[in-house]
Amino acid sequence: MNILNIFKRKSSRKVFVIGLDCADPKLVFEKWKDDLPNLRHLMESGIYGKLKSATPAITVPAWSSMLTSKDPGVLGFYGFRNRADYSYEKMTIAMGDKVREKRIWNYLSKAGLKSTVICVPQTYPVRPLNGHLISGFLTPNIKSDFTYPFSLKKEILSVEPDFVFDVKDFRTDDKDRLLDQIYTMTKKQFNVVDYMLKNKPWNFFMHVVMGVDRIHHAFWHFTDTEHFRYEAGNQYENAIRDYYIFIDQKIGEWLNQLDKHTSVLVVSDHGAKRMDGGICINEWLWRNGYLHFKNNPKKGQIRSFDEMEIDWSKTKAWGSGGYYGRLFLNVKDREPNGIIPPEEYENVRDELIEKLKAITNPEGENIGTRVFKPQDVYKSINNIPPDLIIYFGDLLWRSVGSMGYDGWHTYENDTGPDSCNHAEHGLFILSDPKNKKHNRMIEDAQLMDIAPTVLSIMGQKVPSDMQGKVIS
Ligand SMILES: [Zn+2]
């Protein structure tokens, strides 16, 4: 192959990725399809489908799993907060420096291709790449060094002097303030995307819109007729739909600016579904004899689990809250005051799995809880995973860690108002001008397929240790 051909191939390998954190396939492919002409156009000119998320289906680790094609066990983080060691208290936060595996742009940098990366989760603190990076949510504030190269920060702040990485307190009753903040954040980030598109060369471009996740959590019950808090004709009935339309219009603007050789990929890290309530995991463990306190919790006095004094000499298991439940066992010779003999470990886990799966709603109907053992869902396990990963009611119920309830069901959220949980399937839409597929729905795609698919479109070899496959 002569040099000119190599140059031609290189110059045509461009991929533009729009990440929509929490965007749900049912909303985009069905419910609001007719309201979203640009996303529909991408579907009609390409392939699309549900994208099975990581286990657990949450932002950290999901985006990094997508971009490395490695599962959370290999990555070694199972949420934002992870056990630092086998002590009871010490936790670490999975910031960007915890991602040890290569992401798409690391492979591209090595191949001499340029990336622009804007607001992708787990990119702070920033690390070098061939191209430009603006870090995403969990960046403390604009005083932080949030760009690579460092000099880019000045440019970004001249475009958007009050650039924001996330909204404050999205679990709030002040819906007007929040809605305003979500739009303000998104517009500022879109202005920066526009600036970067216009001013910096790239082969791979990626921006993640975090506002979709925030608006889902805060406004879901206003729009989902099956949510127990839904009231017909409420003033926020169309808030989520209107935000999707706002994003769709911006996507249309970007599509007009891209050259006809650029592949466009829209992805989400997980989907969204209504939240029916919370299962108080520690109340359940306590009431079933697995967890003991020095002073028993008092009904009506809600206290965080960290405030409780635990009697470790009798405790077999404890849990933590979040969109999914994490359960930890107190194992002899592993935890400081462990009591479960190692040879009993699997028996206790199996017993707990059966009991957790039998949990019902207050009406006595089984809620369809699913429970995973880390070694069954990960290729390998690094750092310290929960002993059990729990999807209460298949994620229609969240996990609540605090104590002081009148049982193990609650309809109030101990971390603030939130009416949406994550769903196991996100979405993808891929429009590849060199490989037109026209409105074809793909079954069985998963998060870890994204990195090999992008590398393949860009003419790169797919590393053999990637766990996903090329979607085609
Ligand atoms: Zn997310």
Looking only at the bridges linking them, the beta strands covering 81-83 and 91-93 are antiparallel
Residues 261 and 321 in one domain: no
Residue 88 near residue 82 (C-beta atoms within 8 A): no
Q: Which of 64, 35, 12 is nearest to 251 (CA)?
A: 35
Residues 331 and 191 in one domain: no
Number of domains making up the chain: 2
Say whether both 267 and 140 belong to one domain.
yes
Q: Calculate how far, in angstroms, residue 270's C-alpha sits from the geometric centre of ligand 1.
A: 6
**Pick from 212, 210, 194, 209: nearest CA to 258:** 194
Domain of residue 299 covers 277-417
Sequential pLDDT tens for the chain (472 residues): 445 444 444 555 899 999 999 999 999 999 999 999 999 999 999 999 999 999 999 999 999 999 999 999 999 999 999 999 999 999 999 999 999 999 999 999 999 999 999 999 999 999 999 999 999 989 999 999 999 999 999 999 999 999 999 988 888 888 999 999 999 999 999 999 999 999 999 999 999 999 999 999 999 999 999 999 999 999 999 999 999 999 999 999 999 999 989 999 999 999 999 999 999 999 999 999 999 999 999 999 999 999 999 999 999 999 999 999 999 999 999 999 999 999 999 999 999 999 999 999 999 999 999 999 999 999 999 999 999 999 999 999 999 999 999 999 999 777 778 899 999 999 999 999 888 778 899 999 999 999 999 999 999 999 999 999 999 8
The rounded Å distance from CA 213 to ligand 1 centre is 6
Q: How far is the CA of 169 from the centre of ligand 1 (A)?
A: 16
Q: How far is the CA of 4 from the centre of ligand 1 (A)?
A: 42
Centroid of ligand 1 to alpha carbon of 78 (angstroms): 13
**How far is ligand 1, taken at its centre, from the CA of residue 113, in Å?**
27
Centre of ligand 1 from the C-alpha of residue 64, in Å: 11
> What is the Å distance from ligand 1's center to 214 Cα?
9
CA of 185 to the centre of ligand 1 (A): 17
Shared-domain flag, residues 380 and 294: yes
Whether residue 293 contacts residue 373, with contact meaning beta carbons closer than 8 Å, is answered with no
69: CATH: 3.40.720.10
Residue 471 lies in a domain: no
On whether both 24 and 151 belong to a single domain, the answer is yes
Run of H or E residues at 377: helix 374-377
Give me the residues near ligand 1 (ion), CB cutoff below 5 Å: 21-22, 59, 213, 269
Indicate whether 159 belongs to any domain.
yes
CA of 425 to the centre of ligand 1 (A): 11
- Judgement on whether residues 32 and 158 belong to the same structural domain of the protein: yes
Ligand 1 centre and the CA of 356: distance in Å?
25
| Same domain (yes/no): 81, 147 | yes
| pLDDT value for 413 | 74
Distance, CA 22 to ligand 1 centroid (Å)?
5
Same domain as 370, residue 249: no
Same domain, 410 and 426: no
Ligand 1 center to residue 20 CA distance, Å? Answer: 8
pLDDT reported for residue 280? 97
Residue 470 lies in a domain: no
Q: What is the rounded CA–CA span in Å between residue 85 and residue 322?
A: 20
Verify that 251 and 341 share a domain, yes or no.
no
Q: What are the beta bridge partners of residue 232? A: none
Per-residue pLDDT at 273: 97
**Could you tell me the pTM of the whole model?**
0.95
Give which of 11, 9, 16 is closest to 263, Cα–Cα.
16
In a domain, 375, yes or no: yes
Residue 472 domain flag: no
Residue 28 lies in a domain: yes
Would residue 468 count as lying in a domain?
Answer: no
What is the Å distance from ligand 1's center to 374 Cα?
21
Look at strands 409-410 and 277-280 and give their pairing: antiparallel
In a domain, 83, yes or no: yes
253 and 333, same domain (yes or no): no
* In a shared domain, residues 197 and 331: no
Residues 6+ apart with CB under 8 A from 423: 24, 57, 270, 271, 272, 273, 395
Ligand 1 centroid from CA 37, angstroms: 24
Q: How far is the CA of 438 from the centre of ligand 1 (A)?
A: 28
**How far does the centroid of ligand 1 lie from the alpha carbon of residue 36, in Å?**
21
How many A from CA of 51 to the centre of ligand 1?
A: 13
The count of residues in the chain is: 472
**HSE (side-chain half, CA atoms, 13 Å) at 334:** 15
Q: Are 372 and 55 in contact (CB under 8 A)?
A: yes
